Amino acid sequence: MLLKRLTEAYGVSGDEGDIRDILKEELSGHADEVYTDALGNLFFRKGKGRGPKVMLAAHMDEIGLIVVGFEKSGLLRVHKVGGIDDRVLVSKPVVVGKNKVPGVIGAKAVHLQKPSERKKAIKIENLYIDLGVRSQDEAEKLVSLGDYVSLSAKTREAGDNCLIGKAFDDRVGCAILAELFKEDFDLDITAVFTVQEEVGLRGSGVAAYSIHPDVAIVVESTSASDVVGTKDASHVTTLGGGPAITLMDASYIAPQVIIDLFVQTAEKLGIPHQFRRLTTSGTDAGKIAQTHAGILTGLVSVPCRYIHSPASIININDVQNTSRLVKGVLNVIAEGGLTLETTTEKIK
Amino acid sequence: MWNKVQVSPKNWGLSDLDIKRFLKDICEAPGVSGYEHHVAKVIKAAFCQFCDEVRQDRLGNVVFYKKGTGESNRPRILLAAHMDEIGLMVTKVEEGGFLRFTAVGGIDPRTIVGQEVILYGKETLAGVIGAKPPHLTDDEERGKGHKIEDLHIDVGLPEDQVRKLAAPGTLAVIRRELIELAGNSIAAKALDDRAGIAVLLTCLDELERLQHSADVYAVATVQEEVGVRGAAVATYGVVPDIGIAVDVTHGEMPGVPEHDVSYIGKGPALTLGPNIHPKVGKELVRLAKEYRIPYQIEVTPGVTGTDARAIQVTRGGIATGLVSIPLRYMHTSVELLDLDDIKQAGRLLAHFIAAVDHEFVEGLPCY
């Protein structure tokens, strides 16, 4: 399964090479043109050149860590890459660098903690990676400063049509777009797998600049907080509730034509859907929408519980329904169902 | 699932790979305190080839008996390593099918956030441990460690199914496959004290090639993590002359005073202090020197937090020793140690057993 392969692979922001390789292999022969840019964004283009030019985008990178120092004992000091709650790092396996050297993030034994210590969150300053070596020399033979560190986790089926794993944000978007790209649409399509979303939406803007599309669709993964102890109003999205359409987030406000396009397509095809019920946090959609003289951009996300942790949960129905919705939207665009013209009125 | 330890011919002994494979099998098997039956089965399968007899007592302790060569009135030596591990137990099914739980044994709730778990309900279920979502917490809250009541298990099933499959009382453990690290280092869950179980296996294997007049009772004990309960009844049942507990001890790491810890990869830690019979402690040190087995001394000023605590005060008092494997990150799911320390501890115990004779045993009550 492509999604399993993509999520189990390692690709911290700035180190997306392995994800690029999987996608290149998966889509080889399906594109008229494959290329990368100076930042590492990966583009696949195909199509008829008629009708509007469409950009599809999902980000390849995931949150992680980077090696910033060595202790004499051979332990590694790290900083965070992207937004991680320090508290999810404790007691987890990781891999370090190109050679995927295994390590663990330990914690002081509960027996050795003072009661006051136990009440505090363990901060990144007090966490380090243990490779099982006994000295800095040994550590430096295995890894180097600047090596990226990824949490490691398998992706497995669980519960009622769910998957447990890491990096669904946003490999699920990558998987959906890669599968859709193999299908035929009467459109000029460029699917771009972007870099560095998690460190400030760095890849998507330059990608949109070089493609200069008429319309862009971003497929993301977003928080589902429908868990015990939270009120309905703070759920953001509901797991199993279908694709989440964003009206507004910290970087982006959806144009009405785009909202209508997604909602009407979902209703016509009988696809369960929901709105994302939170307005904070930014996405590639915001960057893309503000490129050139403005690009019409849509954003739809797969709900994910415990996002940005190595044990997050998504629902397979949501993945399939998100894919169906994006496919439906592309067909509507291909049929001329989206008005792209900007208006100019002459004033005497 | 179980790979039987391959030993052929016996006089070559267990290889590093055998020990690693055995540890992988027992560490990945569930055995929360009071519910050790599953891991016990895996341990039995590997131990039986080295023993004359195996029996299980009413609490679930598994006693492996290896007969000595002495003609009569053979010294009796008990080796104890606990096979139970810390874990979680479901206390309530909440609306929406989320599970609340309590800890069995000493768990730092901060080490289980964002972990995968395996629930052993009516069916085996995969789940994750979730907490209140970050966007609903303020900075002050993020600075605090999670408490167990803030956490829940999510198995991705509707409430009615969860009620059927994972009722209160269902046990869960953190899912963790053994990780091979640099050199001879490994990390896993439950190395406390499956490492001790591996030491016992190594010792029994070593004894295949040594002459020992004493009878050996190697015991995989239960319920250590909830108050060294198994070792007490096991010792009562065996009635040994000498009892040696094999456990893990804190390995050196930042933020812990050096004199309180042992060093990973520098040999087993031999405990001295009131919990240890002075002659047993000294003999272990003497033999380590004689056979050039690396070792380190650990001084414990009172009772130890191991099976040795219970063994010493069983019946009319038992001469007790303690051999420990240095281990970092105790009671997390990434407990880390060096396999070489396990091998050396096994060797040392075998030489100790081979050296015990009547005279040594008769000298134990003489102060």
pTM score of the predicted model:
0.93
What is the structure's pLDDT at B1? 35
Least confident of A161-170, B140-149, B309-318: B140-149
The band of A271, judged by pLDDT with boundaries at 50, 70 and 90, is very high
Same domain for A55 and A84, yes or no, is: no
Q: Is A100 within a domain?
A: yes
Closest CA to A60 of A195, A190, A159: A195
> What percent of chain B stands above pLDDT 90?
89
The reply to whether A342 falls in a domain is no
Q: Are residues A99 and A199 in the same domain?
A: no
User: Of A125, A151, A177, which closes a domain?
Assistant: A151
Which residue from B108, B112, B130 is facing A305, i.e. has the nearest CB? B130
**Residues B228-252: tens digit of each pLDDT:** 999 999 999 999 999 999 999 999 9
State the Cα–Cα distance between residues A204 and A55, nearest whole angstrom: 11
Whether residue A20 sits in one domain with residue A130: no
Nearest by CB to residue B183, choosing from A126, A132, A228, is: A132
Average pLDDT, chain A: 95
Does pLDDT of A287 surpass 80?
A: yes
A7 domain residue, yes or no:
yes
pLDDT tens-digit readout, B41-65: 999 999 999 999 999 999 999 999 9
Q: Which of A151, A181, A212 is the last residue of a domain?
A: A151
- Chain A contact for B317 (CB, 8 A cutoff): no
By C-alpha distance, the chain A residue nearest B129 is: A311
Tell me: do A15 and A109 sit in the same domain. Answer: no
Tokens of A64: 């992680």
- Number of structural domains (chain A) is 2
Residue of A232, A261, A234, A231 whose CA lies nearest to A245: A261
Does the beta carbon of B48 lie under 8 angstroms from any beta carbon of chain A?
no
DSSP state of B293: -
CB pairs under 8 A between A and B: 206
Of B195, B174, B168, give the one whose Cα is nearest residue B108: B174
Burial (CB count within 10 angstroms: exposed 0-12, middle 13-18, buried 19+), residue A282: middle
Q: Do the Cβ atoms of A112 and B112 come within 8 Å?
A: no
The predicted pLDDT at position A234 comes to 86
**Tokens 């200069």 — which residue?**
A212
| Shortest alpha-carbon distance between residue A104 and chain B (Å) | 6
Residue B254: CB atoms within 10 Å: 12
Average pLDDT over every residue of B188-216: 97
What confidence score (pLDDT) does residue A158 get?
97
Partners of B176 on chain A (C-beta within 8 Å) are 93
CA A326, A330, A333, A337 torsion: positive or negative? negative
- d(CA B325, CA B29) in angstroms, rounded, equals 20
Q: Are residues A219 and A314 in the same domain?
A: yes
Name the domain boundary from A121, A151, A181: A151
Helix (H, G, I), strand (E, B) or coil at A269: helix
Whether A84 and A186 map to the same domain: the answer is no
Tell me which CATH homologous superfamily contains domain B10-85+189-363.
Answer: Zn peptidases (3.40.630.10)
Tokens of A304: 């994910």
Q: Which two tokens stand for residue B292?
A: 């050039």
B336 touching chain A per CB within 8 A: yes
**Same-domain check for residues A127 and A58:** no
* Residue pLDDT, tens place only, A57-112: 999 999 999 999 999 999 999 999 999 999 999 999 999 999 999 999 998 899 99
Count of positions (residues) in chain B: 367
- Pick from A281, A320, A299: which is nearest to A245 by CA? A299
Residue A234: CATH number of its domain: 3.40.630.10
Q: Which residue in chain B is spatially nearest to A112 when comparing CA positions?
A: B256
Q: Which residue has the tokens 């771009």?
A: A192
Strands A53-59 vs A42-47: parallel, antiparallel or unpaired: unpaired
Name beta bridge partners: A298: A217
Is residue B7 over pLDDT 70?
no
Co-location of A216 and A278 in the same domain: yes
| CATH code, domain carrying A136 | 2.40.30.40
> Is the same domain home to A226 and A114?
no
Residue A343, in any domain of the structure? no
Q: What are phi and psi of B326, to 5 degrees?
A: -65, 135
Residue A347 lies in a domain: no
Return the structure tokens found at B180.
């091979």
Angle between helices B16-28 and B37-47 (to 10 degrees): 160
pLDDT of residue B10: 53
Residue B303: how many other CB atoms lie within 10 Å: 15
| A16: in domain | yes
Q: Which pLDDT does position A152 carry in this prediction?
A: 97
Partner-chain contact B155 A106, CB within 8 Å: no
Whether A345 maps to a domain, the answer reads no
What is the per-residue pLDDT for B260?
Answer: 85
- A189 lies in a domain? yes
Comparing CB atoms, the residue among A108, A121, A228 nearest residue B95 is A228
Tell me the average pLDDT across B257-280: 95
- Cα Rg of chain A, angstroms: 21
Domain-wise residue ranges, chain B: 10-85+189-363, 87-174
Rounded to an integer, the average pLDDT of B134-145 is 81
Is A236 in Cβ contact with B135 (below 8 Å)?
A: yes
Taking 50 as the threshold, does the pLDDT of residue B126 lie above it?
A: yes
The CATH class, in words, for B87-174 is mainly beta
> Is the pLDDT at B9 greater than 50, yes or no?
no
The single-letter code of the amino acid at A75 is L
The answer to whether the CB atoms of A164 and B156 lie below 8 A apart is: yes
How far apart are the CA of B95 and the nearest CA of chain A, in angstroms?
7
Q: Do A228 and B98 touch (CB under 8 A)?
A: yes
ipTM of the complex: 0.92
Residues A209 and A322 in one domain: yes
Mean pLDDT of chain B: 94
Return d(Cα A198, Cα A84) in angstroms, integer. 10
Range of the domain at A206: 2-62+166-334
DSSP secondary structure string for all residues of B211-264: ---SEEEEEEES--TTTSHHHHHHHHHH--SEEEEEEEEEBP-TTS-GGG-B-T
Same domain, A109 and A206: no
Do residues A30 and A83 both lie within one domain? no
Please pick, among A197, A198, A220, A341, the residue that the annotation labels catalytic.
A197
Q: Hey, is A172 helix, strand or coil?
A: helix
